[in-house]
Amino acid sequence: MNLNSDAMLVSLRINAWSGRLYDRKASDLVAAQHEAIAGAGRYNKRLLPKDAFAELTATISQARSTHFTQTLPWDDQGNRLLTVANYDHYTRLLDGLREKMVRERTRFIERYQENIARARVDLGKLFRIEDYPTDEALRGRFGVRYRITPVPEAEHFIAKLAAEDTDRVKRDIENRVRERLDDAVADLYRRLGEAISRVSERLRDDEEGKPLVFRNSMIENIRELVDIAPRLNVFGDDRLASLCQRVKEKIASVEPDALRPSRSFDPQTRVRVKREADALIEQFAGYFGAPDENLPEAA
């Protein structure tokens, strides 16, 4: 593969006003009431009722989750690898969430004065109108945007080095890029492994022999992964492609109602899917690796 023509780097930036504010007077008062030194604690006011941020918070969470799901890990500076094959899909989803953020921000501002009135009651003597940004200022405090840049080539870093150092530095950079690409592919395997393991776990019976609760999201997450993984398969890994196809046919194709007590429940299908999931976990154990704690938790 040619990394510079097949992939790019993308970083996500989210602006969000927390609606919280440190109140020094209240903090000092609490400290004095408890005979503690000043600065022993901090009192942070919630300037608006919690539910005022519900829609904005949900959109922000969705943007972060989508960004992680549709890309691969790259570095510690917030950049992630986006393949050309997944570019259109990624930008369509993120552009939609950017527009959604604008709509939610507009609704938030429309309800702003009403929520300030509610906060006046909730905060009592802690309320101060000067704590609140203006409507216009709020427009710049909520936003979702992404930035796409090329993957730097080794020559980009060594142009100014002495000639005798260039070969060594270039090898180091190329090795580091290769390691990051290997980690990116391993990340796909880990995601699939986690999703398959969740399905296997939820297809067990409890201590009384009754099926555990099996939610739609178990299968929905699997379906999303086998849709995304081929577009993020930067090396064209045949084993990964084969795994995705097998998961798609044997697990993702099954309706959740067939796997839990319902009108469509099929005990034989439940046993078969459980057996298939366990077989995949055993076959690809060396590829799935340990769960990645940085990935968003599945619902």
Domain boundaries, given as residue ranges, for the chain? 3-149, 154-288
Instruction: Give the count of beta carbons closer than 10 Å to the beta carbon of residue 132.
Output: 19
Largest Cα–Cα distance of the chain, in whole Å?
A: 73
Q: Give this prediction's pTM.
A: 0.82
Taking the mean position of all CA atoms in its chain, how far away is CA 249?
A: 26
Phi/psi at 62 (nearest 5 deg)?
-65, -40
Q: How far apart are CA 268 and CA 254, in angstroms?
A: 12
Closest residue by Cα to residue 148 from 224, 69, 105, 95 = 95
Instruction: Return the structure tokens found at 250.
Output: 């044997």
Per-residue pLDDT of the chain (299 residues; tens, 9 = 90+): 667 788 999 999 999 999 999 999 999 898 888 888 988 899 999 999 999 999 999 999 999 999 999 999 998 889 999 999 999 999 999 999 999 999 999 999 999 999 999 999 999 999 999 999 999 999 889 999 999 999 876 555 455 555 556 666 667 767 777 888 888 989 999 999 999 999 999 999 888 888 888 999 999 999 999 999 999 998 889 999 999 999 999 999 999 999 998 889 999 999 999 999 999 999 998 888 654 444 444 33
